[in-house]
Amino acid sequence: MRSYTKSIALYEKSRKHMAGGVSSNIRYASVPVPLFFARGEGARLYDVDGNVHIDYVLGNGPAILGHAPKKVVDAVAASLVEGQVFAAQHPREAELAERLSRLLPGAEVVRFATSGTEAVLMAMRLARAFTNRSKILKFEGHYHGWSDQAFISTKPSLNEAGPADAPVPVAGSPGMPPSVLDDVVVCGWNDLDLLEQALERHRGEVAGVIMEPVMVNGGAIPPLPGYLEGVRDLCRKHGALFICDEVITGFRVALGGAQAKYGVTADLVIYAKAVAAGFPLALVAGRRDVMDTLLDKGVMHGGTYNGNVQSMAAALAALDILEADNGAIYRGMEACGQRLMEGLTLLGAKHGLAMLVQGMPAIFQTFFTSAAAPRNYRDSMATDRDAMLSFHAALQEEGVRVQQGGRWFLSTAHDKPVIDETLAAADRAMAKMVRH
């Protein structure tokens, strides 16, 4: 058994001066306590007790190049002497904006922010101002940050969620005012008929339809063939903006994100996480006429740390690596991710476990279910969560770190030897599950 004595002691100490002992509620999800890490390098994290973890959490997605990638770290280190925040513009902002407009589908202009939650709020405000409508339609199981306006029906219990064909908006946290639910329409995902019905029920009221183009937070569930195109067409028909939340999929599933992968362009797109390879940076990109409401209609968006020097330097350095040789690094990462997905599937069969591996090579989900692959949030809720928690605990004991819910992120540092080491650890972990 691994020892976590120092992490336990540090957690008890931190609880005295930090609310809950953590800086994000999501970080509670570690056993035996939220773990403390001393450093990260490549595909591995090193905790304060000396345990080494092959890391498939990767900061919940940002570390696309692994931990502490040298070229990015060097670029940021060189930028430190230039200053950090100016409350003004600097040349790297313009350089990065021009580059992103070239790389990202439909990105006529961009506006920088610091976190995905902020960027989501900006996109929703833009949609409301542009359309002069108040409601936002979102989908069950999709996560768009923790703000009052967005943290709705992200993980509702099914006894609260209402009927599948007309879900009830459910606040995701105490402290959210009931009034925010009046401005949100909730719909089941991956079903165009349900979306059309919802838009008809709220005809002329919906400013924007926001979604993860791949339902990452609900289980790395891909859109059905033709679904994204259908959503785009329904938005046009009903005068609503199509908003893609690519906070996770952007720069991860492809250089141009899920839009490029699936060949569908949204009106507004939100990016964060992998864009700066671990440094805080988010942005909204999209149609010039919509983005121009920031100036033409005086739509307010601000932020002291938006476009800060270090994040701009990190993003430019990361793009140098991701763009090199026509995106060759993605082909290598996808090959390794496919090897891992197929290997886990074979191991599940070997040990007689009803395990399903679903998603894309750069981000996928392990489910425990004998049913068909989930197509939406309610399908994913029917899988065996207890088995997933057991697998998570067994993997951690074997030196592999994944999210408790079963989501795996890959980086370019997860090469073939790391994948083979992971599969050997997963083999041992599954054997333990079967024994116990």
CATH topology of domain 5-68+328-435: Aspartate Aminotransferase, domain 1 (3.90.1150)
Question: Residues of the chain with pLDDT > 70: what percent?
Answer: 100
Predicted local distance difference test score (pLDDT) of residue 96: 98
Average pLDDT across the chain, whole number? 96
Task: Answer whether residue 29 shows pLDDT above 90.
Answer: no
Predicted local distance difference test score (pLDDT) of residue 27: 84
pLDDT in tens, 191-247: 999 999 999 999 999 999 999 999 999 899 999 999 999 999 999 999 999 999 999
How far is CA 340 from each of CA 258, 322, 364, 374, rounded to the nearest angstrom? 21, 21, 10, 20
Active-site residue numbers?
Answer: 143, 245, 273
Domain regions of the chain by residue span: 5-68+328-435, 70-320
Angle between helices 385-397 and 416-435 (to 10 degrees): 120
Cα separation, 227 vs 211, in Å, equals: 12
pLDDT in tens, 137-191: 999 999 999 999 999 999 999 999 999 999 999 999 999 999 999 999 999 999 9
Q: Which amino acid is at 53?
A: H
> Which residues have C-beta within 8 Å of that of residue 115, sequence separation ≥ 6?
145, 272, 280, 282
CATH topology of domain 70-320: Aspartate Aminotransferase; domain 2 (3.40.640)
Q: What is the torsional sign of CA 248, 249, 253, 254?
A: negative
Which residue in 319, 269, 312 sits closest to 94, CA to CA? 312
pLDDT in tens, 342-364: 999 999 999 999 999 999 999 99
